[in-house]
Amino acid sequence: MNKLIGIMVFSFLLSSICWAGGNKDKTAQSKNSSDTASEKAGLLSLDEAIAIATKEIETALDRGTEIAVYKITASHDKIGDYIADSLNDSFLMHKKLVPLARETVLQYASTEQQFQLSGFVSDESAVSIGQYLGAKVVITGTFDSYADFSQLRLRAVDVRTSALVAAYAAQIENKDPLLVNITVPLRNTSLPHVADSALAALNRGKDLFTEGKYDEAIREFTDAIRLDPNFSDAYSYRARLYTAKEDIDRALADSNTAIKLYPNNAIAYYARGNAYIFKRKRDLAIADYNQAIKLDPNYALAYINRSVMYSDDDDNDRAIADATKAISIEPSNAVFYAYRGYMYNHKDDYDRAIADANQAIKLNPNYAFAYIVRAAAYLLKKDENRGITDYNQAIKIEPKYADLNYIAFPDFLF
């Protein structure tokens, strides 16, 4: 049996990476997957929106709940920092919740876990961050700019259950003095117009996407397109899900439409790159990932999927460099560490592979592929006992790994 397992692991290391999996970036079903009830008629100033968000989140949580305001992703870091700092200060003034000091969050982020304040923070990452910081709830969000307004969305995630316990969305006046001062260098950038009703449908679709409810999400994105046929974001998100469902022709059609409507849409290029992978057009996929990264240098998923293309060409150094960049953007993503560990195994650098697998397991103890990566490294270091232990743990989590003919590879990320 041990010899068979060793053969399985060795064949996994020598095999080229296949791409046909599903997205593992799912969270538990939220109490309220749509935040349309929070959307306010008319445009608000940024400070008004922060004040309303504070009250809504306080209402949703028990008094005395320990929270961490971690990160607001925005096109300009100063906007995200201002929102996070102001939100934290607002909670402190109200004295209903117990926010961790921003200094503690930021210091821990930079020195202990090297969490860089760039890139989107998924619900899964928020849970990992909360576990490290000792918070019961982690608050993250996004700030997206459109031609007629900007949108602030906040998510409060329960660290224990991974459930979304509070959500808030508001439209912000682009002429807000704070935004005007910060975005002076961006004023020449063309921004897309969007109908309010279409944006609400997009928001619902994004939440359903996060929960892994692909068919329902597609219906919401389709509704957004019906409400605003020129809504590039809706086409790009629907393209991502069509690829997840392996409906590649529709994915290409949607991503092409999204790019035609708004050529600066990084998500559209990323979505088209994913579709090209299924068409076995690796050069076109890499070109689209390059463009997505050019438009959004913090697009972690574009780096990680481009690394797959490099690894397919046995260009392990560039593959590892891209995986490392993805980790620097989203350092609490267990999948990224496991993937880089997989690549270190390909380079016969087993100690680094084990270190990455250890970090992946620390971030997500139920991530079976991380145990497979570590098992492979141990077996190839002739440490059979540890290798078999990890392999058995992987089987316990994901029984599919019991099939010795199953070739283990990182899941395709949509």
pLDDT cut 90: percent of the chain above it:
60
Whether 124 has a pLDDT exceeding 80, the answer reads no
**Torsion angles phi and psi, residue 73, rounded to 5:** -80, 125
Instruction: Provide mean pLDDT across the span 353-370.
Output: 93
What pLDDT shows up at residue 409? 65
Report the alpha-carbon distance of residue 212 to residue 351 in Å, rounded.
34
Beta bridge partners of 153: 142, 169
10 shares a domain with 64? no
394 shares a domain with 328? yes
**Long-range pairs, 29-34, Cβ under 8 A, ≥24:** 29/163, 29/211, 30/163, 30/164, 30/165, 30/167, 30/207, 30/211, 31/163, 31/164, 31/165, 32/164, 32/166, 32/167, 33/164, 33/204, 33/207, 33/208, 33/211, 34/167, 34/203, 34/204, 34/207
Across the chain, mean pLDDT equals: 83
10 shares a domain with 98? no
Whether 183 has a pLDDT exceeding 70, the answer reads no
Residue of higher predicted confidence among 120 and 357:
357
140 shares a domain with 11? no
Domain coverage including residue 375:
2-16+298-402
DSSP 289-351: HHHHHHH-TT-HHHHHHHHHHHHHTT-HHHHHHHHHHHHHHSTT-HHHHHHHHHHHHHTT-HH
In CATH, what number is assigned to the domain containing residue 318?
Answer: 1.25.40.10
Q: Model-level pTM?
A: 0.78
What pLDDT shows up at residue 339? 94
What pLDDT shows up at residue 410? 63
9 shares a domain with 66? no
Lowest mean pLDDT among 121-135, 222-236, 289-303: 121-135
What pLDDT shows up at residue 106? 61
Report the alpha-carbon distance of residue 40 to residue 206 in Å, rounded.
19
Whether 8 has a pLDDT exceeding 50, the answer reads no
Question: Looking at the domain assignment, is residue 121 inside a domain?
Answer: yes
Q: What Å distances lie between residue 167 and 90, 101, 161, 397, 411, CA to CA?
A: 17, 22, 16, 31, 29
Instruction: Tell me which residue of 111, 110, 89 sits closest to 100, measured CA to CA.
Output: 89
Are the C-beta atoms of 273 and 296 separated by less than 8 Å? no
Please report which confidence band the pLDDT of residue 104 belongs to, taking 50, 70 and 90 as the band edges: low
Question: Looking at the domain assignment, is residue 249 inside a domain?
Answer: no
- Domain end position, chosen among 191, 226, 248: 191
Question: Looking at the domain assignment, is residue 344 inside a domain?
Answer: yes
- Domain end position, chosen among 129, 161, 191: 191
Structure tokens at 50: 């922060």
Residue corresponding to tokens 């100033």: 45
Are the C-beta atoms of 97 and 67 separated by less than 8 Å? yes
What pLDDT shows up at residue 18? 33
55 shares a domain with 8? no
pLDDT in tens, 288-328: 999 999 998 889 999 999 998 898 888 999 999 999 999 98
127 shares a domain with 58? yes
CA atoms within 13 A on the CB side of 202: 23
Structure tokens at 228: 């605003």
pLDDT cut 70: percent of the chain above it:
80
- Domain end position, chosen among 128, 157, 191: 191
Report the alpha-carbon distance of residue 86 to residue 68 in Å, rounded.
13
Whether 158 has a pLDDT exceeding 80, the answer reads yes
Report the alpha-carbon distance of residue 194 to residue 119 in Å, rounded.
23
33 shares a domain with 11? no
35 shares a domain with 6? no
132 shares a domain with 10? no
Whether 110 has a pLDDT exceeding 60, the answer reads no
User: Pairing state of beta strands 98-99 and 137-145?
Assistant: unpaired
Whether 407 has a pLDDT exceeding 90, the answer reads no
Query: What interhelical angle do 300-312 and 316-329 show, nearest 10?
Result: 170
51 shares a domain with 7? no
9 shares a domain with 125? no
Residue of higher predicted confidence among 16 and 112:
112
Helix (H, G, I), strand (E, B) or coil at 230: coil
Residue of higher predicted confidence among 156 and 329:
156
Domain count of the chain?
A: 2
Structure tokens at 85: 């700092």
In CATH, what number is assigned to the domain containing residue 112?
Answer: 3.40.50.10610
**Torsion angles phi and psi, residue 178, rounded to 5:** -60, -45
Are the C-beta atoms of 260 and 239 separated by less than 8 Å? no
Residue of higher predicted confidence among 213 and 182:
213
Residue of higher predicted confidence among 277 and 179:
277
Report the alpha-carbon distance of residue 306 to residue 271 in Å, rounded.
12
What pLDDT shows up at residue 188? 53
